Amino acid sequence: MKIVSMDVMSTGVIAYYVLIASRDGLFSPIVGKVDNPAYSDPVPQAVILTAIVIGFSIQALMLVGVMKLSRDNPTLETSEIEKNNTP
């Protein structure tokens, strides 16, 4: 459940940035004949793509950790897992 909640929070933050970055009247910075020189900034797009990739890799790493924990501790109780793994 913790992994799913972290994924939902990450998706919410990305959706918030996409919502703020979307504006009417801005064009992509591609060479062409456009009368309106108001271009959208490509840096936030790059930051969001980086955040998506990092979020995916962190989620995959957490799932591998859960798989290793579930192999050693066949229970859903976090108190039991902590008791078994403390030195």
pLDDT by residue, tens only, the chain of 87 residues: 888 898 899 999 988 888 887 766 666 667 667 666 677 777 888 888 999 999 999 999 999 988 888 888 888 787 887 887 777
Rg (CA), the chain: 21
Q: How many domains does the chain have?
A: 1
pLDDT score for 61: 94
Interatomic CA distance for residues 86 and 27, integer angstroms: 56
Residues forming a β-bridge with 39: 27
Interatomic CA distance for residues 25 and 36, integer angstroms: 8
Token pair for 36: 């309106």
Residues 74, 18 contacting (CB under 8 angstroms): no
Measured from the Cβ of residue 71, the count of other Cβ atoms closer than 10 Å reads 8
